[in-house]
A and B are shown apart, each in its own frame.
Chain A
Amino acid sequence: MSNKKDIIFKIKNLSKLYGANKIPAFEMMKNGSEKSDVARKYGVTVAVNDVSFEVERGKIFVLIGLSGSGKSTVVRCLNLLQKPTSGDILFEGKSILKLNKKELMEFRRYKISMVFQSFGLMSHRDVLGNVAYGLEVRGEKKEICQTKAMDMIEMVGLKGWEHKRISELSGGMRQRVGIARALANNPDVLLMDEPFSALDPLVRRDMQFELLSIQKKLNKTVIFITHDINEAFKLGDLVGIMKDGKIIQIDTPEGMASNPADEYVENFINSADKGQIYSVKHIMQTPSCLIHSRDGVNYALKQMRDQGVSSAYVVDDNLRLVGILPLDNAVKVKAGELSFQDAITKDVLTTEEDVYISDLLSVAATAKYPIAVIDKENHLKGIVSKASVLSSLV
């Protein structure tokens, strides 16, 4: 029996920088400067810094690390959703960086597919339409699309749901659709970027089990990202741990647990500070009560009543946050004691998606309403309740 490993992906000295001044920043980084210094001097983010690893066919390779450590950037380079700044990526021995446009398209259509953290499903299509998407774009006949998609839907346990809209599904079901869609193309490699992070713990355990059994059955190569060490150890044949864009240690779960490379890894294994592992985007929810500024008070009251909440988030036509309409104010508007505009509280506590939970703790403690998550243009992305901040830490 030959001992030679069948390496499907080989990543060599991969680096990825975001920003305009890449060339001098790259030099500085190569000379061993800290990530934060490079960012300060050139305004360039070093997302991935000289990363090398190999993935064996039919195995699950897990990348783990704190928020912002560059995990997503690494997997996005593997199907070239992001273009590496330097380094090389070999798939079955051939560099994917040398593929021309058409070859890249073929590569994505037949060899590799992806599962996303917030599912990335197309809400204008039903379950079947989503699962068949990859087959459809590569030009398969309609009947083939349908039968293959149906097989996959059955495999992930969604039989009978194929004509449901995505909005009718629970989070766990949506990610099953995401997985079915990724498998329908029968790819060699499955990229999974925190696929289960948005799911609650029980569903998550089901899904982990499901993934393992699917992997046993189909023998796919999986590259899996998580920030949960338990998930990493449960799923991974090999686990790579990342910090500030670098891989610090690659080992089997047992190897890593018994022989952590440094204190950082050890802390990680003990999951010392969960507040640093999760950022706001991992715990934020869609606001249950959202109204447009032109909707008027009657609609707002009805919404609040239907949802059983005591405040509504008010946005303008472009989904930019205007403020919060508390229930007591809304009642006053209805009674004619207050104008609709004056009733909207403008001083809402806000935060952004990439803020660490630990940085949010002090704010959350004093918050009267859930904290609004906005982006740079003030678009409302979601809300974070006090309870979810606290419960993410235990």
Chain B
Amino acid sequence: MPDWFIEFPSEINLNIKDAIDKFIRYLLTNGETFFEGIKEVLKGFLNGIQGVISRIPWWLLILIVFILSWRTSRKLGKAILYSALLFFIGAMGLWPLMNTTLTIVIASVIISIMIGFPMGIWVSYSDRLDRMIRPVLDTMQTMPSFVYLIPVAMLLGLGNVPAVIATTTYALPPLIRLTSHGIRQVDNEVVEAAKAFGSTKWQTLVKVQIPQAMPTIMTGLNQTIMMAIAMVVTCSMIGTTGLGQEVLISINRLETGRGFSAGISIVIIAIIIDRLTQGIVKKGEAKIEQ
């Protein structure tokens, strides 16, 4: 039996690695000013958010979480639990790191909304666009998250700014998908009614389709936020500061306790944000439901 029958023949050697590397290098040499520009803008954006967040007194944030969880769940136990968990993060001495992580998450989510929401609306209007973009979104979502880090790090270097780009890219798909899905599934008779009363396309969109789709859109936003939190942690590999970096450091130094405290803090943040946004979704659904 010839060798090539079992072993993959080494003569077949399609080298796309080089091509991709070349492409990135090409971008790097020719788009320097462009990437520098993006970097500056994002840096300003991040600093702005950081400025706001770091000025919020710790007790106020806990109070806000308390009130919001009370208002969405109507359960005192939950409200107390979430506030206590948040207090716990501070008690572990991780409050400043949490602020850094939150800053990057918030920045990424805001950019995701600015891109994903209009894009989702656009996709909902065209079946062809939907067919085209679906595999792209699938790929984006199944690609191991740290693959995004390589090109981003090459083009923008290390630190928190490239983290925002990588996080946004990774967290964007569910928002696009669910915005589009939400608008498509609005009861056709309701949309027809809007048209029959002489609504313009814009009026139909703003007065009927978006409000009706809001619970689904919020579900997408919830997923986007969750993915952003996960990604910010991964981004520590390209030198992003915050809780993720703390985990990375403790892995390198085998400091289990330190790693766990940071890990638990991340979980707490994720749980609180998840429950709060889901609470909002549930309330919205109750409103829309017939």
Contacts and interface: CB of A to CB of B under 8 A. Distances in A.
Interface of A: 79, 81, 105-110, 113-114, 116-124, 133-134, 136-138, 165-167, 181, 185, 191, 286, 317-319
B212 A137 contact: no
13 contacts: A108-B195, A108-B198, A113-B196, A114-B193, A120-B189, A120-B192, A122-B194, A123-B212, A123-B287, A136-B207, A137-B194, A137-B199, A167-B290
A137 B203 contact: yes
A265 B19 CA distance: 74
Contact of A123 (B192, B195, B219, B290): B290
Contacts of A124: 211-212, 214, 287-288
B24 to A, nearest CB: 37
Contacts of B290: 121, 123, 166-167, 286
Given A120-B189, A121-B193, A137-B194, 8 more contacts: A81-B195, A120-B187, A121-B290, A122-B207, A137-B198, A185-B197, A317-B219, A318-B181
Contacts, number: 78
A113 B197 CA distance: 6
Contact of A120 (B193, B200, B207, B289): B193
Nearest to B181: A318
Contact of B288 (A123, A181, A185): A123
Q: Which 6 A-B pairs have the closest CB atoms?
A: A109-B198, A120-B193, A108-B198, A134-B197, A120-B189, A124-B211
Nearest to B197: A134
B190 A121 contact: yes
B111 interface: no
A185 B193 CA distance: 13
B208 interface: yes
Nearest to A108: B198
B202 to A, nearest CB: 10
B1 to A, nearest CB: 45
Contacts of A133: 194, 197, 207
Contacts of B208: 122
Nearest to B210: A124
Contacts of B190: 120-122
Contacts of A167: 289-290
Name the residue in B189, B198, B208 with the highest tally of chain A Cβ atoms < 10 Å from its Cβ.
B198
